[in-house]
């Protein structure tokens, strides 16, 4: 029974680690427009860039949480053999 618990922690950690990598890969593929210009005395394109950065930040935070969960599962797998 103890070995089954150990294996469950380890495999859950591995799967969650791969999930975090996939989330970070997706976050890095989000397009952030960089065509900022000026027109009529104001900057144009800042809202689109802000939206892109916001989407990246959201997906990066999901990836960070998945990484933290993977680390905790790995630690439990080492603590409870």
- State how far the Cα of 61 lies from the Cα of 4, in Å rounded to an integer: 31
| Cα end-to-end span (Å), the chain | 10
Q: What pLDDT is stored for residue 1 in this prediction?
A: 62
Q: What pLDDT is stored for residue 69 in this prediction?
A: 97
pTM of this structure: 0.82
Number of Cβ within a 10 Å radius of residue 53? 12
Q: Are 74 and 11 in contact (CB under 8 A)?
A: no
Range of the domain at 71: 2-79
Total tally of structural domains belonging to the chain: 1
Q: What pLDDT is stored for residue 61 in this prediction?
A: 97
Positions in the chain whose pLDDT score sits under 50 = none
- State how far the Cα of 5 lies from the Cα of 1, in Å rounded to an integer: 6
Q: What pLDDT is stored for residue 12 in this prediction?
A: 95
């Amino acid at each position: 029974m103890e070995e089954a618990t150990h294996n469950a922690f380890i495999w859950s950690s591995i799967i969650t680690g791969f999930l975090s990598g996939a989330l970070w890969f997706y976050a890095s593929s989000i397009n952030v427009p960089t065509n900022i210009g000026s027109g009529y005395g104001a900057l144009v394109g800042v809202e689109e860039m802000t939206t892109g950065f916001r989407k990246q930040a959201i997906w990066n935070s999901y990836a960070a949480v998945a990484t933290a969960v993977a680390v905790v599962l790995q630690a439990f797998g080492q603590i409870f053999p």
